[in-house]
Amino acid sequence: MTLISRGARGSGPQPADTKTSEQRRERPLRPKRRDNVTAYVMLAPVVILLGIFVIWPLLYSMFVSLYDWSFYQESVFVGFRNFRVVLTDPQFVESVLRGLRFALIVVPSVMVIAFLFASLVKHMGKRAATLLKVSVYIPTVISGVITSLIFVLIYQYSGGIANWLVGFFGIEAQAWIGDVKLALPAIAVPAIWLGLGITSLIMLAGLLDIPESYYEAARLEGANWGKQTIYITIPLMKNIFLYLLITGFVGAVQQFELPLIMTNGGPLDSTLLPNLYIFNHFRYDIYVGYSIAAALLLFVVLGSISAGIFKTLNSEKAVDG
């Protein structure tokens, strides 16, 4: 190991069989020990903090999920009972399905809008492009709380902008977040608004990465924008789509600040997303094992779905540029 690292570092022109004096001069360059001490000292803060605030809680979650644990009583080992209870709890299963529905509204919308945005910006002059990029990114820095407060007012039944807007199209006023059918799409809108900025800019970066010569060649062949998109852009951006799809999906299913503040899961649980369900359960139920088992299960569900999307998309091997 020492030798390899020395070689890799290419530490000077000295041959291996130099004299003692030379070796002494070289010593500060190679000793592994010194690097060890420096490395551990400089790594210590991150490793210790991750250990206390991430790894310990994770191991603790795994432990607590097997117990009937509460703040006030001695815990009792119950094996996998918590998991069984969670999995047979229709409320939890429904909340997971609801989370999937929510993600199915949010993620495709964000992807399509972001793709249109990126295609537009690509053909803009530099100044207009900067203006557009900065504007579309601004919502990204706004908190979930402020976004919720704004959109609750937008959705007000009387005097809200949403009803004023649909009024132009002759649609009668809706209760939006107070309506069992509309509440989930209604809270998806601020989620889309919040998520658009980063997705758009990543997509734009990917779009600009494709050599312009491909498009020039296609244009010479008479391919229009639609054909260029289908045969050049989409295949070449496959990995970016995949990355955005997975991160967007995992993010959307885990969303819970918006429903927490806008609706607290209502009306009639129609916006009770899985993490909100777990969080509320934790707040109101002194037996923590159940909530934690649910959280761990969600972790598994999300992991397998991400892997699923990844596999499906990856199996259709596109031509790579």
Partner 1 sequence: MAVLTAPVVAGAPATARRRNRRSSPLATALRFLAGLIFVLAALFPLGWMAIAGFKSKTEVVRTPFQFFPEVWRWENYGQILEDPTFVRTLGVTFGGAMLFAALSLTINAMAAYVFARLEFDFKRTLWTIVITTMFIPGMSILLTSFIVVTRLQMLDTLAVLVLPGAASAAHVFFVRQFYLAIPMALEEAALIDGASRWGIFRHIFVPMSKPVFVVVGMTSFLAFWNSYVWPIMTITSPGLFQVQQYLATFRSERGSELGLLMAGSTLAALPVIILFLIFQRYIIGGIKISGLR
Residues 207-226 interacting with partner 1 (rule: CB under 8 A) = 208-209, 212
Determine which residue in the list 92, 115, 151, 287 makes contact with partner 1, applying CB under 8 A.
151
User: Which of these ranges, 74-82, 90-98, 101-109, 151-159, lies near partner 1 under the rule CB under 8 A?
Assistant: 151-159
Signed CA dihedral, 245, 251, 254, 257: sign only: negative
Residue 117, number of CB atoms within 10 A of its CB: 20
Residues 65-104, interacting with partner 1 (CB under 8 A): none
Closer to partner 1 at the Cβ: 138 or 268?
Answer: 138
CB-count exposure of residue 207 (10 Å: 0-12, 13-18, 19+): middle
Is position 111 an interface residue for partner 1 (rule: CB under 8 A)? no
Residues 243-302, interacting with partner 1 (CB under 8 A): 243, 247, 250, 254, 256-257, 260-261, 275, 278-279, 282, 288, 291-292, 295-296, 298-299, 302
Closer to partner 1 at the Cβ: 50 or 76?
Answer: 50
Does residue 9 sit in helix, strand or coil?
A: helix
Determine which residue in the list 78, 105, 120, 223 makes contact with partner 1, applying CB under 8 A.
120
Asked whether the beta carbons of 261 and 83 are under 8 A apart, the reply is no
- Calculate Rg over the CA atoms of the chain: 27
Least Å from the CB of residue 150 to partner 1? 5
**What is the spatial distance between Cα 266 and Cα 217, in angstroms, rounded to a whole number?**
54
Nearby residues of 273 by Cβ (< 8 Å), 6 or more positions away: 95, 98, 99, 102, 253, 255, 256, 259, 265
* Total of residues contacting partner 1 (CB under 8 A): 108
Q: b/e per residue, 303-320, with b = 16+ CB within 10 A? A: eebbeebeeeeeeeeeee
Q: Which amino acid is at 302?
A: L
Nearest CA-CA partner of 262 in 195, 159, 185, 197 = 185
User: Which of these ranges, 14-22, 73-81, 84-92, 136-144, lies near partner 1 under the rule CB under 8 A?
Assistant: 136-144
Determine which residue in the list 78, 85, 132, 182 makes contact with partner 1, applying CB under 8 A.
132
Determine which residue in the list 131, 180, 230, 307 makes contact with partner 1, applying CB under 8 A.
131
Q: List the end-to-end C-alpha distance of the chain, in Å, as a whole number.
A: 37
User: Which of these ranges, 81-89, 90-98, 100-108, 139-147, lies near partner 1 under the rule CB under 8 A?
Assistant: 139-147
**What is the spatial distance between Cα 94 and Cα 116, in angstroms, rounded to a whole number?**
33
Determine which residue in the list 3, 16, 138, 268 makes contact with partner 1, applying CB under 8 A.
138
Closer to partner 1 at the Cβ: 145 or 234?
Answer: 145
Residues 50-69, interacting with partner 1 (CB under 8 A): 50, 52-58, 60-61, 64
Peptide bond before 267: cis, by omega within 30 degrees of 0?
A: yes
Is position 201 an interface residue for partner 1 (rule: CB under 8 A)? yes
Residues 180-199, interacting with partner 1 (CB under 8 A): 193, 196-198
Closer to partner 1 at the Cβ: 117 or 184?
Answer: 117
Least Å from the CB of residue 94 to partner 1? 17
Is position 29 an interface residue for partner 1 (rule: CB under 8 A)? yes
Does residue 231 come out as left (phi exceeding 0), alpha (psi in the -120 to 50 range) or beta?
alpha
User: Which of these ranges, 79-87, 99-107, 138-146, 309-317, lies near partner 1 under the rule CB under 8 A?
Assistant: 138-146
Determine which residue in the list 78, 100, 150, 182 makes contact with partner 1, applying CB under 8 A.
150
